[in-house]
Chain A
Amino acid sequence: MAAEYGALLTPTSSARRFKANLVVVLAVVATAIALVPLASVFLFLITRAVGVLGIDFLLQDPPGDLSAAGGGIRNAIAGTLEMTTLATLIAAPLGILIAIFDTEVGGRLATGTRFFIDVMVALPSIVIGIFVYSLIVVAQGHFSGFAGSVALAAIMLPVIVVSTEEMLRLIPRPISEGARALGLSRWRTYASVFLPTAVSGIFTGLLLAVSRAIGETAPLLFTALGNNFFSTDMNEPMQGLPLLIYRNALNSAFPAARDRAMGAALVLVLIVLAFNLLGRWLVSRRKPGRSTGR
Chain B
Amino acid sequence: MNEEVTMAIETPLRQVSPAPSDPVRSTEIDRAVVLRLRNVDAFYGTRQVVRDISLDITGNSITAIIGPSGSGKSTLLRCIDRMHEVIPHARATGLIEYLGTNLYDARVDPAAVRRSIGMVFQQPNPFPTMSIADNVAAPARFNGLIKGKNASADLVEQCLRRAALWDEVKDKLHQSGASLSGGQQQRLCIARALALAPKVLLMDEPCSALDPVATLQIEQLMTDLRASYTIVIVTHNMQQAARVSDRTAFLTMGDDGAGYLVEEGPTGRIFTQPHERLTEDYISGRFG
Contacts and interface: CB of A to CB of B under 8 A. Distances in A.
Contacts of B196: 182-183
B121 A177 contact: yes
A181 B83 contact: yes
Interface string A176-217: 011111111100100011001101000000000000000000
A175 B126 CA distance: 7
A239 to B, nearest CB: 41
A197 B129 contact: yes
A172 B128 CA distance: 11
Contacts, number: 62
Interface string B128-156: 11100000001100110000000000000
Report, as a range, how many residues of chain B touch the other chain.
20 to 34
B115 interface: yes
Nearest to B116: A183
B111, B127, B143: which has the most chain A beta carbons within 10 Å? B127
A174 interface: yes
Contact of B129 (A174, A180, A188, A193): A193
A184 B139 contact: yes
| A contact patch SS | helix
Interface in B94-133: 111-116, 118-119, 121, 123, 125-130
A181 B77 CA distance: 12
B121 A178 contact: yes
A197 B128 contact: yes
B139 A177 contact: no
Interface residues of A, number: 18
Given A183-B143, A192-B138, A178 B111 contact: no
A178 B189 contact: yes
Given A188-B142, A192-B138, A192-B142, A181 B114 contact: yes
Contact of B121 (A174, A188, A197): A174
A199 B119 CA distance: 27
B86 A183 contact: no
B264 interface: no
B192 interface: yes
Nearest to B81: A181
Nearest to B110: A183
Nearest to A197: B129
Contact of B125 (A178, A185, A188): A178
B59 to A, nearest CB: 21
B261 interface: no
Contact of B139 (A175, A182, A199): A182
A-B complex: 8 closest residue pairs judged by Cβ atoms: A183-B115, A174-B125, A183-B114, A196-B129, A181-B119, A178-B125, A182-B139, A183-B111
7 contacts: A175-B127, A177-B125, A181-B118, A182-B192, A183-B114, A193-B127, A196-B130
Given A180-B83, A183-B115, 4 more contacts: A183-B112, A184-B143, A185-B111, A192-B130
